[in-house]
Amino acid sequence: MIAIYAERLAERGHEVVVVSQPMARPTWRDHLRSFVKYGRLEVGSEAPASHLDGLKIPHRVLERARPVVDSDVPDADVIIATWWETAEWVAALSKKKGAKAHFIQHHEVFDYMPKERVKATWRLPLHKITISQWLVDSAREEYGDTHVTCVPNSVDTRQFHAPLRGRQPVPTVGLLYSSVPWKGCDISLAALSLASRKIPGIQLVSFGANPLPDSLPLPAGTKYHHNPPQDQLRDIYASCDVWLCGSREEGFGLPILEAMACRTPVIATPAGAAPELLKSGGGLLVRPEDPEDMSRAILKICDTSDAEWAAMSAQAHATAVSYTWADATDRFEQGLRRAIERHRAGEL
């Protein structure tokens, strides 16, 4: 998202500079930790790929991992933090660096983070730009900030698309695999296990960034795609009759929109933007932490008539294409202008 907005703002004539820390190269300790977690040793010394690679705008990479200071960034009209630590750094910069904004893509108060420090960044005098209504609500209800710009994510329909189709000969369910607890894969897998008692032979298709750990195995016969190329994702989504998103917490939940763009109905818990994305149909919203409710939703979609499934598929696609990057960039740009207005008014 950061790379997309940087390039799209530059295309509109704004002068954009991205400043980042160098990507860390894996150490032998990292390799051993991976071996313990995934049961295999993947040795390599190259830094992982970044979405900032190949940006068509100036990109300054710091010489080492450290806080950003005044000398690292140009004088500007506005400067944008993109993570809670960078919010601390941006708050400390001089006024010459511009109005201060914070692009927030998640409520980053995770168990493995210094929670009180993270919470404190929500109270810094930075104009917030968020990606879903629940983050807007969090800013207001938990931190007393009512001046927040909401910019829902979009999806590139040149990358994520699929032709009209019917259902698969074998009922097929998909999910994005992650062992991170808040992603809720355990909920989705438990729901699928319950559904399989009523639909023998139901097929699971999944993809993920990591090898599969022993702690959260996939059912036998699962078609698992480990770190597939981006141009293969649409085929994975389009091979499914329904896509599961059992997240306990999300900033947005982009796989929901990607699956819908590929004409695949979605079953999701009310995390991130799921309530907004599914309010017009195109899938079903289920109760959180409730595999039984998700299982009933799987059975419901798999038991629909061909015409009913086609209508749900069409609504999913219609919802996805209604979220355009042009609209999102308009809103993001408006958020930046609002930050400048508040800066000039002395609010920030």
According to the model, what pLDDT value does residue 46 have?
64
- Homologous superfamily of 172-321 in CATH? Glycogen Phosphorylase B; (3.40.50.2000)
**63-67 contacts, C-beta under 8 A, 24 or more apart:** 63/22, 64/21, 64/22, 65/21, 65/22, 65/24, 66/21, 67/92
pLDDT at 43: 52
Distance of CA 300 to the CA centre of its chain: 27
In this prediction, residue 106 carries a pLDDT of 95
Contacts of 49 (CB under 8 A, 6+ apart): none
| Overall fold of domain 2-154+325-344 | Rossmann fold (3.40.50)
CA distances from 42 to 50, 84, 225, 263, 305 (A): 19, 31, 17, 36, 46
CA–CA gap between residue 192 and residue 173 (Å, rounded)? 8
Per-residue confidence (pLDDT) for residue 278, from 0 to 100: 97
Q: Where are the domains of the chain?
A: 2-154+325-344, 172-321
Q: Give the per-residue pLDDT at 214.
A: 79
Block residue for tokens 């607890």: 181
CB neighbour burial string for 162-175, b if at least 16 within 10 angstroms, e if fewer = beeeebeeebbbbb
Each residue's pLDDT, cut to its tens digit, for the chain (348 residues) gives: 999 999 999 999 999 999 999 987 665 665 455 555 545 555 555 666 788 888 889 999 999 999 999 999 999 999 999 999 999 999 999 999 999 999 999 999 988 899 999 999 999 999 999 999 999 999 999 999 999 999 999 999 999 999 999 999 999 999 999 999 999 999 999 999 999 999 999 999 999 998 888 789 999 999 999 999 999 999 999 999 999 999 999 999 999 999 999 999 999 999 999 999 999 999 999 999 999 999 999 999 999 999 999 999 999 999 999 999 999 999 999 999 999 999 999 999
Residue 49's pLDDT is 75
Half-sphere exposure of 21 (CA within 13 A, CB side): 14
Can you tell me which residue has the tokens 């639909």? 199
- The distance from CA 293 to its chain's CA centroid, rounded to whole angstroms, is 24
How far from each other are the two terminal CA atoms of the chain, in whole angstroms?
A: 25
Can you give the pLDDT at residue 42?
A: 55
Query: Do 2-154+325-344 and 172-321 have matching folds?
Result: yes
Written as six digits, the tokens of 145 are: 């900030």
What's the confidence (pLDDT) of residue 31? 47
Instruction: Output the pLDDT for position 307.
Output: 97
Structure confidence at residue 84 (pLDDT): 97
DSSP 204-268: EEEEESSPPPTTSPPPTT-EEEES--GGGHHHHHHT-SEEEE--S--SS-HHHHHHHHTT--EEE
Q: What is the model's pLDDT at position 268?
A: 98
Helix locations, the chain, DSSP H: 2-11, 28-38, 84-91, 115-121, 133-143, 185-196, 233-238, 254-261, 274-278, 291-302, 306-321, 325-344
Residue 336, both tokens: 């930046």
- Alpha-carbon distance values, 64 to 23, 29, 45, 60, 73 (Å): 9, 19, 17, 12, 15
pLDDT at 40: 52
Q: How far is Cα 236 from Cα 154, in angstroms, rounded to an integer?
A: 19
C-alpha atoms less than 13 angstroms from C-alpha of 190 in its C-beta half-sphere? 13
**What single-letter amino acid sits at 48?**
P
Q: How far apart are CA 12 and CA 80, in angstroms?
A: 17
Q: To the nearest 10°, the Cα dihedral for 320, 326, 332, 336?
A: -170
pLDDT of 30 reads: 55
